[in-house]
């Protein structure tokens, strides 16, 4: 065989052969790398390991969670917590039958208005299969049953607590805001007023208040004493809901009764003398109408506190290792 033929033989056989072997090696390496990644141990609970594959399966079931390759410490803790609670349920003999799981999944399917095949296709689109999904549901139902027995059943909310909460947070149940219709006399304070001018204006304001409280006609005193813009509006300031006036005027207006004249309210521009033409007090939703809502709030507050304490105790007596 000539050197040319030997060279040709080498290129025509060994070249493709080595290319083929190289591709096989790359494929095996990637498959091995993927297997190592999925089987990577993230943690262990009572000697039962939690792998990266377990983590991915768990996160897949969390609503609204973006699928990422990196491990989120918070989500891993949730998975560990679920494992701990599943062990606790097993110790206490709490189980969920396959029949209960099937019935729950069937109810979810009907609620979605899909056929069995459509439902299965929806699961596939989310990288689930029906077997894995039922396992996921069984774990969730088991933990829920445990929590219901060990936590929810221990929460007590009394009528006295509900009643006290209603009165302490009554503004949360406002049906209609309080309003006032105001009349006012405005006394303007010049920007560069002297101490004497300020004193004179204070005496004038107190004199007007005294006259009004003695029964003098409001409109006549507006015409005689008020500065603009209220003078040309016959002292009509307008109707306001609580919180819509500047704070000093708001506090003064809503502290007065209908028909009452207040002390002068001083602001940077001068003084306002208010009279309440008409007043509507705030209205609130009736206690009976919001009783269930308050019960739910108090129940949830107590439940969260009790749940946190309960889970902490179970964590402390469990053997947990995070790699």
Residues 6+ apart with CB under 8 A from 213: 261
Q: Which two tokens stand for residue 272?
A: 């306002």
Dist. CA 270–CA 193, nearest whole Å: 11
- As a whole-number percent, the residues of the chain with pLDDT over 90 amount to 61
Rg (CA), the chain: 38
pLDDT of residue 285: 95
Q: Which two tokens stand for residue 145?
A: 């049953």
> pLDDT (tens digit, 9 = 90+) per residue, 256-292?
999 999 999 999 999 999 999 999 988 999 999 999 9
pLDDT of residue 64: 54
Secondary structure of residue 68 in the 3-state scheme: coil
pLDDT-derived band at 23 (thresholds 50, 70, 90) equals very low
Q: Which two tokens stand for residue 257?
A: 């009764």
pLDDT of residue 65: 58
**DSSP state letters, 242-306:** TTSS-HHHHHHHHHSPTT-BPPPEEETTEEEEEEEEEEE--EE--HHHHHHHHHHHHHHHHHHHH
pLDDT of residue 4: 28
Q: Which residue has the higher pLDDT, 24 or 287?
A: 287
- As a whole-number percent, the residues of the chain with pLDDT over 70 amount to 86
Query: Going from the N-terminus, what domains does the chain have, and what CATH number goes with each?
Result: 178-281 (3.10.50.40)
- Residue 112 pLDDT more than 70? yes
* Model confidence, pTM: 0.62
Cα separations (Å) of 23 from 13, 16, 30, 37? Answer: 16, 11, 11, 21
The DSSP H or E segment spanning 239 is strand 236-241
- Residue 302 pLDDT more than 70? yes
């Amino acid at each position: 065989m000539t050197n040319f033929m030997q060279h040709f033989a080498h290129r025509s056989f060994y070249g493709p052969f080595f290319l083929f072997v190289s591709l096989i090696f790359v494929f095996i390496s990637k498959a091995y790398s993927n297997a190592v990644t999925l089987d990577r141990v993230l943690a262990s609970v009572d000697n039962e390991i939690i792998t990266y594959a377990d983590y991915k399966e768990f996160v897949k079931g969390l609503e609204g969670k973006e699928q990422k390759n990196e491990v989120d410490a918070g989500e891993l803790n949730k998975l560990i917590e679920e494992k701990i609670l599943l062990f606790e349920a097993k110790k206490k003999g709490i189980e969920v039958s396959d029949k209960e799981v099937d019935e729950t999944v069937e109810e979810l399917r009907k609620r979605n208005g899909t056929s069995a095949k459509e439902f299965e296709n929806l699961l596939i689109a989310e990288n689930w299969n029906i077997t894995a999904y039922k396992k996921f549901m069984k774990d969730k139902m088991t933990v829920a049953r445990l929590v219901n027995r060990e936590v929810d059943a221990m929460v007590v909310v009394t009528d006295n607590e509900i009643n006290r909460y209603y009165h302490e947070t009554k503004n949360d149940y406002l049906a209609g805001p309080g309003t006032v219709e105001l009349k006012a006399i405005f006394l303007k304070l010049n920007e560069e007023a002297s101490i004497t001018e300020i004193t004179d204006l204070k005496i004038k304001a107190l004199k007007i208040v005294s006259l009004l409280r003695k029964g003098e006609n409001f409109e006549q005193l507006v015409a005689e004493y008020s500065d603009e813009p209220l003078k040309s509006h016959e002292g009509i300031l307008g109707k306001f809901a609580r919180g819509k006036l500047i704070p000093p005027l708001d506090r003064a207006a809503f502290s007065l009764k209908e028909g009452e004249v207040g002390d002068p309210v001083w602001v940077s521009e001068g003084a306002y003398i208010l009279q309440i033409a008409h007043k509507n007090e705030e209205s609130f939703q009736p206690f009976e109408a919001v009783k269930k809502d308050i019960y739910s709030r108090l129940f949830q507050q107590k439940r969260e506190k009790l749940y946190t304490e309960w889970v902490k105790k179970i964590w402390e007596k469990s053997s947990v290792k995070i790699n």
